[in-house]
Amino acid sequence: MQALIILTRKAKFNFEGFYKTIMKLSPQALTFKGYDAAPLRRIFVDSHYSEPFYEELKTVGKQESFDIECTCDCRKWIQDDKVIVERNLNPHLVADWQTSNAFISELKYTWGITGSREYGLLTGGNTFIGKLPNGEKWLLMGKNERRICDDPDKISKTYGVKVENLNYLPQQDFHLDMFLRPIGYPYILVNDPKLAKENLEKYCQEHPENKSIMDEFLKWNERRKRHYADCEETIAKLEEIGFIPIRIAGVYTEGINFMNAIVNKHKDGKISYITNSTKGNYVTTYNDIEKIFENDLKNKVPNIDKVHFIAGRSSVDYMDPDIYYTDGNYMMSNIKNNSGGLHCMTLEEPNFEQWA
């Protein structure tokens, strides 16, 4: 399921003074105890598409104490066409109209998750769900979701979120989960291409033999700017509605995206960050970028417990007919060629009892 963020029209007033104060503090002074990094109970994957990374993700699940379950609806982007919401502290699947009866029945009779198809369903990768400190839920949506459903009442009923707590964001990419990641209200990671450029400039000075990655980044960023919002627009909107954006270099090329991530909240308030790996068997530059991101993340988010990177099979070990390998691992090529990564291919079930 998506992450959680806290939204009301009153949020700007309530948090404005806090925001001004907190931004004067060092990252180490921040505390991240928000509601939106949910404790996870299960992650579902589609057996038809998850084979290249299933065992890797299952290992992470054991370390994080949540289950990885295989189902089959023969649909790759399981995050986008389904969501598990909370209804009376119980999990409930909301699916689109193409989701099979077999899938809905399997969740009900195997895991006790009831299900329904509803017109108020939005694209999973373009929405994030959360809770305010008073327990009210909020929903962040990319502006493009108006094409899917522009009826606030239907959206409100489907997600259990008051109409006044629905908010649209300017989009830096085609889905929100490609450029931002909530990590605990009011904090939210936002990709800043300027920071990625700075990191690459420094890296290429130290490793001039790998300067081609800078060319890749510049070409990708120019294409993105022609179609999508600037980072500053997204950040301004988030601040307006009460969030504290944390800028980070999270996207380096079409195939290197660390924002497309799953977050698991622990009982002690710490969180683990699970995202796409760049490790392959021949492109060492990408391995270095992964380390740079991990260091940045730990410096900016002091309550990080672990950072897990999921690569999938390497290009020489596994061939997916849907993927033309141009990079060193399954996830990188999937993002680059099919515009989807780990978050897109997983469906989260939070532990609603702990979340409450």
Query: Closest Cα to residue 348, out of 240, 237, 264?
Result: 264
Residue 190 backbone phi and psi in degrees, to 5: -130, 125
Strand arrangement, sheet containing 187-191: 180-184, 187-191, 244-248
For the chain, the first-to-last Cα distance in angstroms comes to 16
Question: By the 8 A CB rule, do 137 and 129 touch?
Answer: yes
- CA–CA distance, 36 with 27 (Å, rounded to integer): 19
- CA–CA distance, 37 with 110 (Å, rounded to integer): 26
- CA–CA distance, 244 with 238 (Å, rounded to integer): 7
Helix (H) or strand (E) holding 299: helix 284-300
Instruction: Kindly report which listed range (16-25, 136-145, 229-238, 345-354) carries the lowest average pLDDT score.
Output: 16-25
327 confidence band (pLDDT: 50, 70, 90): low
Q: How far is CA 336 from each of CA 178, 253, 269, rounded to the nearest angstrom?
A: 12, 8, 34
| Predicted local distance difference test score (pLDDT) of residue 292 | 95
DSSP lists the bridge partners of residue 67 as 42
This model's pTM is above 0.85: yes
Residue 355 backbone phi and psi in degrees, to 5: -65, -35
pLDDT at 8 over 60: no
Question: By the 8 A CB rule, do 296 and 249 touch?
Answer: yes
48's CB contacts (< 8 A; 6+ apart) are 72, 74, 76
DSSP lists the bridge partners of residue 94 as 83, 116
The 3-class SS string of 151-178 reads CHHHHHHHHCCCHHHEEEECCCCCCHHH
356 confidence band (pLDDT: 50, 70, 90): low
40-84 pLDDT, tens digit per residue, is 999 999 999 999 999 999 999 999 999 999 999 999 999 999 999
- CA–CA distance, 161 with 145 (Å, rounded to integer): 16
Q: How far is CA 346 from each of CA 42, 49, 177, 284, rounded to the nearest angstrom?
A: 10, 10, 12, 27
263-292 pLDDT, tens digit per residue, is 999 999 899 999 999 887 555 677 889 999
Residue 11 backbone phi and psi in degrees, to 5: -60, -40
135 confidence band (pLDDT: 50, 70, 90): confident
Cα-Cα-Cα-Cα dihedral of 323, 327, 331, 335, to 10°? -70
Question: By the 8 A CB rule, do 24 and 333 touch?
Answer: no
DSSP lists the bridge partners of residue 329 as 314
Q: Is 135 left (phi over 0), alpha (psi -120 to 50) or beta?
A: left
Query: Closest Cα to residue 183, out of 252, 274, 309?
Result: 274
Can you read off the two tokens belonging to residue 37? 């990094």
Report the DSSP pairing between strands 67-71 and 40-46: parallel
